[in-house]
Amino acid sequence: MNAEDLEKKRAAYLNFLKKQPKGFTYYDASTAKKPIEKVIPIAAQPSTDQTKSTQLDSLNCKYTSCQACPLGSQGRTQVVFGKGSAEATLMFVGEGPGRDEDAQGAPFVGRSGKLLTQIIEAMGLPRERVYISNVVKCRPPDNRTPLAAESSTCKDLLLLKEIDIVQPKIICTLGATATKALLGDDIKITASRGVFVEWRGLLVLPTYHPAYLLRNPTEKRTVWEDMKKIMAKLEELQ
Ligand code: URA
């Protein structure tokens, strides 16, 4: 790069710095007469999105070899963390990884996941715009339902923290395990399905798990009614 080009780049950069919001002090060494009082480097003012995804990354980083519950040593291939937009207003929570998720390291990528993706896309949302997680992050042997102690350990270590970081407006719990993990063991999915519940400053709407829909396709219509409620509520909360 010649000196002229370098000067153009420098001038353009200073111009960019001058346009930064209040609180950001730029420093042009060629014109500065007195020492700068305050310099806030751009890196110290990351966008909220970066902050949230960085927070999620550092949370997950701590648990890549988690042995906090028996699922850590019962044949899982890897820990399957939540995935999606850290800025999502809508979060889906399922039960736990199955065989495909355990192999690929991402939630809801098997048959149930394909159906969930279709549902999300039918809502007019690309899957990447929502956040998808599970109560337990390790595959239970033979896809058994996670034990209450496993759910509760993993919920405290990861799920509740993911929710605190992402701060969605609505969480859609998929099936009984996720619904009980958040709303309490006494709750019945059949009674609570399709009804918003206020929980920790956000709304939870329980619905059927996609695996249940694969076995009972006529219930897809019911779940679609629930998704319409979510879409309307998100619109209202904008
Ligand atoms: N079922 C779940 O509950 N979660 C997954 O990630 C896949 C299937």
Minimum CA distance residue for ligand 1 atom 7: 108
- 5-19, 25-39, 48-62, 144-158: range with lowest mean pLDDT: 25-39
Convert the pLDDT of each residue in 72-104 to its tens digit.
Answer: 999 999 999 999 999 999 999 999 999 999 999
Domains in the chain, number: 1
Q: How far is the CA of 146 from the centre of ligand 1 (A)?
A: 12
Find the mean pLDDT for residues 158-177. 98
Checking if the pLDDT of 23 tops 60, the result is no
Q: Is residue 15 part of a domain?
A: no
Using the Cα atoms of residue 158, residue 100, residue 169 and residue 219 in order, give the sign of their dihedral.
negative
Give the range of the structural domain holding residue 64, as residue numbers without chain letter. 53-237
Q: Residue 35 has what pLDDT?
A: 40
Q: Is residue 134 part of a domain?
A: yes
Q: Is residue 81 part of a domain?
A: yes
Checking if the pLDDT of 208 tops 90, the result is yes
Checking if the pLDDT of 28 tops 90, the result is no
Find the mean pLDDT for residues 150-163. 98
Q: Residue 171 has what pLDDT?
A: 98
Q: Is residue 232 part of a domain?
A: yes
Q: Which residue has the tokens 């648990």?
A: 63
Q: How far is the CA of 17 from the centre of ligand 1 (A)?
A: 46
Closest approach atom of ligand 1 to CA 101: 6
Tell me the two tokens of residue 218. Answer: 């006529």
CATH number of the domain residue 154 falls in: 3.40.470.10
Q: Residue 34 has what pLDDT?
A: 42
119 and 213 Cβ atoms separated by less than 8 Å: no
- Residue 177, SS3? helix
Q: Is residue 168 part of a domain?
A: yes
Cβ-Cβ contacts under 8 Å for 203 (sequence gap 6 or more): 169, 170, 171, 196, 197, 233
Q: Is residue 24 part of a domain?
A: no
**Using 50, 70 and 90 to split pLDDT, how confident is the model at 196?**
very high
State how beta strands 131-134 and 170-174 pair.
unpaired
Q: Is residue 231 part of a domain?
A: yes
Tell me the two tokens of residue 24. Answer: 């950001």
**Using 50, 70 and 90 to split pLDDT, how confident is the model at 191?**
very high
Checking if the pLDDT of 21 tops 60, the result is no
DSSP 15-33: HHHHTSPTT-----TTT--
Q: Residue 5 has what pLDDT?
A: 58
Query: Alpha-carbon distance 238 to 234, whole Å?
Result: 6
- Residue 137, SS3? coil
Q: Is residue 35 part of a domain?
A: no
Q: Residue 50 has what pLDDT?
A: 67
Checking if the pLDDT of 31 tops 70, the result is no
Convert the pLDDT of each residue in 122-151 to its tens digit.
Answer: 999 999 999 999 999 999 999 999 999 999
Q: How far is the CA of 131 from the centre of ligand 1 (A)?
A: 13
Indicate whether residue 173 lines ligand 1 (CB < 6 A). no
Closest approach atom of ligand 1 to CA 209: 3
